[in-house]
Amino acid sequence: MAAKVRSALTFRHQGHFDKAMLAMSEANRDQVLALRKIQSTLYGITGKHYPMVVFEKFRQLPPFEIGVADGDAVFAILDRINTAEDPTFAEARAKVHDVEAQIEEEGSFVTFLQRQPASTENAAELETAQATVRELEQTLATTRAKILAPIFAATKDVFARASGRHQKDGLFLSLAANIYVVVMSSIATRPAQRVEI
């Protein structure tokens, strides 16, 4: 999702406002869908009905924020992860976004080199660029692990509170994956009344 926000900002700086709006609206949609999936997964785990999360506001200037209604169950989980209070989590999140951007950029360079005519110089440059991508991917995996640890802990806590009802790996992974989408978004999720447009 951070890639869509980066694309939107790039398009806006280039004067392509229609493309910028489309990329940002897709990022907002993905985030709201993840929020809704969290609550529907919670229903599958606990049997408790949760209202559908409703998208109400969007702050269009940095820092970007979406304001939602009926997201109390999601906010309770996000509070358990306590992302706002943990500086190491914020650093890891920023590093993931940075490394993803570097992989995207370096991957484009690899693709460019692969399309060039074969030569010794080109082969060496391609090998170096591919090694850089592999190194960045390893850094990304290590950094993501720092983010996933508190997400898995919060997900495990949700299951523990469900008193053994519907303890399924698929539900666990779905909940953790959608929490990851929300936590890693470069668009903050807030209760609608806390978002100033």
pTM for this model (two decimals): 0.85
Beta bridge partners of 55: 68
Q: What is the pLDDT of residues 121-170, one digit of tens each?
A: 888 999 999 999 999 999 999 999 999 999 999 998 888 877 655 567 78
Helix H or strand E encompassing 59: strand 54-59
Task: Say what the pLDDT of residue 7 is.
Answer: 82
**Peptide bond just before 63 cis, omega within 30 deg:** yes
Task: Say what the pLDDT of residue 166 is.
Answer: 57
Task: Say what the pLDDT of residue 178 is.
Answer: 95
Task: Say what the pLDDT of residue 80 is.
Answer: 85
Highest mean pLDDT of the ranges 1-5, 52-56, 133-137, 173-177: 133-137
**What DSSP state is assigned to residue 21?**
H
Examine the pLDDT at 196 and tell me if it is beyond 90: no
Q: What is the pLDDT of residues 20-75, one digit of tens each?
A: 888 888 888 999 999 999 999 998 888 888 999 999 999 888 888 999 999 999 99
Helix H or strand E encompassing 29: helix 17-46
Domain-wise residue ranges, the chain: 2-194
Q: What is the pLDDT of residues 76-120, one digit of tens each?
A: 998 888 655 678 888 898 899 999 999 999 999 999 999 988 888
Q: Which of 1-5, 58-62, 116-120, 182-186 has the lowest mean pLDDT?
A: 1-5
